[in-house]
């Protein structure tokens, strides 16, 4: 009986003999098939491709490659290719206390990109949103910037609906219908939709659309979690960004009147107080100490300050003889915002672009009148300013007054004053 590995001398039609090259090729094929049967017997009968067996013999060792990071389905659903690639890798043992999930290899798509916790907000843009009543669409513009992790300037519209409007979206803040309304409302101002993508407008173009000729205040870090809350809370934090930008490092900003804040932000004083409670803006009372309390000085200051005037008695003798009385009056409050300040970054470049795009005759329209400076950090600066404009009160910050704690958390702050020449 002929062997299974022998080759017959004649195949095909009678009288036709095979060549020596074909006979040698058939012999090599039978030898490779024998090697395949032997390898299957050693591996427990698992299927392996004949050509893959030859490639494995010629392939260099792959122990240095990070196969532990590759997915378990490597080989496009091909069991033979997967077994060949992982054949030389050591088997990972699972301890009794571990689960199969923890021992399984993680893929690149098993974890979604980590979204940032804060977004960079320019207070001038926030004020523009309040003045133009665009807080709702502006909130969506900020969220889309957070979604654009690659900073490519556009977001897929289906991805935006999934993240912002679906029930399990990580940044859900509204429903699908409201999202469509917001996208339509902010078209050409905050974004342009085309070919299934939301192309975001840059900070420069949004500033132009809101009528902002220059970014003057330092940007702040606005938490993403705030943008997912009710629109009233979002408006409160847009307003609070103004105070956060004015806050100095170790002390509160100089006093500012609510009328001035209203002129800048278009927020009425009653609404300002409500926003400050919602956004947790800290307020600090400010008082000015004038000359010695006499009938004439109280009367003259009363004409200037009205009901804010009162008599201050120095029981500790910090301002002069112990027990001496002075004319005092309450100044506007100072504020400490809840947001951290960020570096200006591209703000200078943005301002150069805004200057080029705005014509000189347009930049003055709707702008706030310049305010003469009245509050200074020390008496030297106040005296120099007083010599230039003696018809106005000039204040400088007192030292060591208020309650315990650092300057930022004192209950009140006292100011010294150089009174205008009309009261002398």
| 185 domain residue, yes or no | yes
- Residue 186 shares a structural domain with residue 269: yes
- Residue 226 shares a structural domain with residue 154: yes
- Residue 243 shares a structural domain with residue 303: no
What's the mean pLDDT in 26-39?
A: 85
Per residue in 151-168, pLDDT (tens digit) is 899 999 999 999 999 999
pLDDT bucket at 243, cuts 50 / 70 / 90: very high
Phi, then psi, of 120 in degrees rounded to 5: -75, 125
- Residue 121 shares a structural domain with residue 268: yes
| 68 domain residue, yes or no | no
Triad 321, 325, 329: Cα angle to 5°: 130
Considering just the CA atoms, what is the radius of gyration of the chain in Å? 38
pTM tops 0.95: no
- HSE toward the beta carbon, residue 223, CA cutoff 13 A: 11
| 36 domain residue, yes or no | no
- Residue 329 shares a structural domain with residue 411: yes
| 418 domain residue, yes or no | yes
What's the mean pLDDT in 385-411?
A: 68
DSSP 59: S
CA distance 402 to 411: 6
What's the mean pLDDT in 367-373?
A: 58
| 83 domain residue, yes or no | no
Query: What domain range includes position 184?
Result: 117-281+337-369
pLDDT bucket at 112, cuts 50 / 70 / 90: low
pLDDT at residue 71, rounded to an integer: 55
Which residue, among 228, 271, 233, 264, has the nearest Cα to 140 in the 3D structure?
A: 228
| 86 domain residue, yes or no | no
CA distance 196 to 367: 38
Which residue is it, tokens 């702008």? 367
Say if residue 275's pLDDT is above 90. yes
Say if residue 193's pLDDT is above 90. yes
DSSP 148-204: -TT--SEEEHHHHHHHHTSTT-TT--S-HHHHHHHHHHTBTTTEEEETTEEEEPPHH
- Residue 217 shares a structural domain with residue 185: yes
| 391 domain residue, yes or no | yes
Which residue, among 85, 68, 67, 66, has the nearest Cα to 76 in the 3D structure?
A: 85
pLDDT at residue 72, rounded to an integer: 54
Q: What is the mean pLDDT of the chain?
A: 78
Say if residue 398's pLDDT is above 90. no
- Residue 231 shares a structural domain with residue 248: yes
- Residue 187 shares a structural domain with residue 232: yes
Which residue is it, tokens 């798509």? 109
Task: Give the range among 18-27, 95-104, 195-204, 315-324 with minimum mean pLDDT.
Answer: 95-104
- Residue 277 shares a structural domain with residue 361: yes
- Residue 277 shares a structural domain with residue 391: no
- Residue 131 shares a structural domain with residue 223: yes
pLDDT at residue 85, rounded to an integer: 54
- Residue 197 shares a structural domain with residue 316: no
CA distance 34 to 55: 16
Per residue in 307-351, pLDDT (tens digit) is 888 888 888 777 778 888 888 888 899 999 999 999 998 999 999
Say if residue 8's pLDDT is above 60. no
Triad 332, 404, 337: Cα angle to 5°: 45
| 14 domain residue, yes or no | no
Number of domain units in the chain: 2
Say if residue 218's pLDDT is above 90. yes
Which carries the bigger pLDDT value, residue 103 or residue 75? Answer: 75
């Amino acid at each position: 009986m002929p062997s299974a590995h022998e080759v017959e001398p004649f195949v095909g039609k009678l009288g036709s003999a095979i060549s020596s090259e074909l006979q040698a090729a058939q012999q090599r094929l039978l030898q490779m098939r024998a090697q395949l049967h032997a390898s299957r017997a050693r591996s427990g009968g698992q299927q392996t491709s004949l050509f893959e067996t030859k490639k494995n013999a010629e392939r260099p060792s792959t122990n240095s490659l990070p196969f532990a990071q590759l997915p378990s389905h490597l080989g496009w659903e091909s069991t033979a290719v997967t077994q060949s690639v992982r054949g030389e890798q050591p088997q990972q043992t699972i301890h009794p206390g571990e689960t199969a999930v923890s021992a399984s290899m993680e893929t690149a798509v098993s974890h979604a990109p980590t979204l940032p916790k804060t977004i960079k907000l320019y207070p001038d843009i926030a004020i523009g949103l309040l003045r133009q009543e665009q807080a709702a669409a502006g909130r969506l513009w900020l969220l889309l910037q957070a979604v654009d992790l690659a900073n490519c300037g556009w977001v897929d519209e289906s991805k935006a609906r999934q993240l912002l409007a679906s029930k399990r979206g990580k940044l859900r803040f509204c429903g699908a219908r409201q999202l469509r309304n917001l996208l339509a409302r902010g078209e050409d101002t905050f974004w342009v939709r085309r070919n299934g993508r939301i192309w975001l407008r840059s900070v420069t173009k949004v500033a132009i659309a809101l009528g902002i000729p220059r970014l003057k205040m330092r940007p702040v870090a606005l938490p993403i979690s705030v943008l997912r809350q009710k629109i009233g809370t979002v408006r409160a934090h847009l307003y609070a960004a103004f105070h956060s930008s004015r806050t100095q490092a170790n002390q509160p900003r100089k006093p500012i009147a609510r009328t001035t804040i209203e002129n800048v932000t278009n927020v009425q004083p009653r609404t300002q107080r409500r926003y400050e409670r919602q956004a947790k803006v800290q307020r600090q009372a400010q008082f000015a100490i004038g000359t010695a309390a006499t009938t004439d000085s109280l009367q003259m200051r009363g004409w200037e300050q009205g009901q804010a005037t009162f008599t201050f008695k120095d029981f500790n003798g910090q301002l002069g003889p112990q027990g001496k009385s002075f004319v005092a009056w309450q100044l506007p409050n100072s504020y400490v915002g809840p947001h951290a300040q960020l570096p200006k970054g591209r703000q200078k470049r943005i301002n150069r672009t805004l200057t080029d795009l705005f014509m000189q005759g347009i930049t003055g329209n709707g702008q706030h009148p310049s305010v003469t400076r009245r509050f200074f950090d020390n008496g030297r600066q106040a005296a120099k300013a007083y010599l230039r404009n003696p018809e106005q009160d000039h204040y400088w910050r007192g030292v060591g007054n208020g309650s315990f704690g650092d300057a930022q958390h004192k209950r009140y702050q006292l100011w010294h004053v150089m009174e205008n020449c009309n009261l002398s």
